[in-house]
Amino acid sequence: MPIIEQNTVSALNKAGGKGEIFITHLLTPNEMLGKCQMFARVRIPVGASLGVHQHIGNNETYYILQGTAAYTDNDKVYAVKAGDTTFCADGDTHGIENIGDDDLIFIALIINTK
Amino acid sequence: MPIIEQNTVSALNKAGGKGEIFITHLLTPNEMLGKCQMFARVRIPVGASLGVHQHIGNNETYYILQGTAAYTDNDKVYAVKAGDTTFCADGDTHGIENIGDDDLIFIALIINTK
């Protein structure tokens, strides 16, 4: 079957963030062949966040599908909305918080740099 | 700026498909470091399609965001809808056609296998 079974996991206070977030993995490690580490749809309910954390050995892209967020890039904070793409390079830190009235939903892609 | 500038290109009769399709690149080759070849949002208007083509040296995942499609995987055709994830392994062929009444929109990720 070419249609992949998805696997949703939840995490509480992820990277020191607030509340519970939900990560739906769209690919398994087998399909990513060591090139990527995660390809997922992330849902962050109202008021919750994914805490600021550093990426070492990989970079991460978020493509915002729905909602409004405060995106922290190293020491600066940016407002992001549906349609925006954010990029955290290897060695940088980032985090994201739902500051809107609806679920924040985005695609997350982690590409290994080594 | 951690917010990436997006670049939309259109293609007519792509891979022998019907009509015009629109590809919004979310990452550049520099950010993908040779690990991935494309990370994009694809929009296929009503009645248009991306023709069946083979992947050699990479695999491709579609994550359907909106619409209804006929997804061809090698010699079989599947109906796919928002929320579905399709996977085309290295060496396989695939194509996708909008068979609904609204734009078909999906995220496409090509991961290099070599």
Q: For every one of its 114 residues, what pLDDT tens digit does chain B have, with 9 covering 90 and above?
A: 689 999 999 999 999 999 999 999 999 999 999 999 999 999 999 999 999 999 999 999 999 999 999 999 999 999 999 999 999 999 999 999 999 999 999 999 999 998
Residue B1: the pLDDT is 67
How far apart CA B110 and CA B92 sit, in angstroms, is 13
pLDDT at A1: 67
Closest CA to A87 of A109, A65, A57: A109
Output the average pLDDT for chain A: 97
| Residue A63 predicted with pLDDT over 90 | yes
Give chain B positions within 8 Å (CB) of A41: 63
pLDDT > 90? residue A2: no
Residues of A in CB contact (< 8 Å) with B are 2-4, 6, 26-27, 31-33, 35-36, 39, 41, 59, 61, 63, 65, 71, 73, 78, 80, 84-89, 92, 94, 107, 109, 111-113
Q: Do B78 and A33 make contact, defined as CB atoms within 8 angstroms?
A: no
pLDDT at B21: 98
User: A38 versus A5: which is more confidently predicted?
Assistant: A38
Please indicate whether, in this complex, the C-beta atoms of A73 and B2 are within 8 angstroms of each other: yes
Q: How many Å apart are CA A83 and CA B8, to the nearest integer?
A: 13
Residue B41 burial class via C-beta count within 10 angstroms: exposed 0-12, middle 13-18, buried 19 and up: buried
What is the structure's pLDDT at B2? 87
Cα A66–Cα A69–Cα A72 angle in degrees, nearest 5: 135
Residue B47 confidence (pLDDT): 95
Q: What pLDDT is recorded for position B27?
A: 97
pLDDT of residue A105: 98
Whether the pLDDT of residue A98 is over 70: the answer is yes
What pLDDT is recorded for position A78? 97
Distance in angstroms between the alpha carbons of the first and the last residue of chain B: 31
Q: List phi, psi (to 5°) of A45.
A: -65, 165
Q: What is the mean pLDDT of residues A16-21?
A: 98
A24-49 tens-digit pLDDT = 999 999 999 999 999 999 999 999 99
Sheet of strand A49-54: strand arrangement:
A49-54, A93-98, A68-73, A76-81
Q: Per-residue pLDDT for A76 more than 70?
A: yes
